Amino acid sequence: MPRNGFEPGRKPIEGARAFVQWIQNPVSADGPHHIIRSLALNFAPEIHRVVAAMREHPDGARLLRDKPDLGQTLADMNTLSQMPEGSLGKVYHDFMSGDEIIPGYFIGGSVYRHGFLDSLADWDPDARFLLARAGNTHDIT
């Protein structure tokens, strides 16, 4: 049963602080770090439930088993630029090459800033992987 109305793993006060830090300057170098912290601290139970559901699906289980490095793939703008017109890679490249766009790999990497991902040592390793991957996939979805 949740203690004080909060589920275990949820840290709403710290999550709210991270959200306020993000909202004050979302485009700063630390902006992506703060929003990812906010999501992780506010939605830890939900993230772990998503991982549990992924384990029950063949594609989700394969993704969690193989843990492909999407950040490395998305950061290779040269390769993406050479993909066929209309392909996901080429469309992503063209979008990310636009003015005032922060590269997804920058945001994806922000989960590692200030040792945040390491601070989630009590999290399931698959949930930590999913959180890091979310930083990379947010521009694709």
**CA distances (Å), 105 to each of 38, 43, 53, 80, 102, in order?**
19, 22, 26, 13, 9
C-beta of residue 32 within 8 angstroms of C-beta of residue 55: no
Residue 34 lies in a domain: yes
Q: What is the pLDDT of residue 68?
A: 93
Which of the given ranges, 14-18, 46-50, 54-58, 120-124, has the highest pLDDT on average? 54-58
Residue 78 CA to residue 74 CA, distance in Å, equals: 10
pLDDT band (50, 70, 90) for residue 64: very high
Residue 74 lies in a domain: no
Using one digit for the tens of pLDDT, what is the confidence trace for 85-141?
Answer: 999 999 988 888 887 776 655 555 666 667 777 788 788 999 989 988 887 777 676
Number of structural domains found in the chain: 1
Containing structural domain, residue 118: 12-69+102-137
Q: What is the pLDDT of residue 2?
A: 42
Burial track 30-61 (b if 16+ CB lie within 10 A, e otherwise): ebbbbbbbbbbbbbbeebbebbeebeeeeebe
Sign of CA dihedral 133, 134, 136, 137: positive
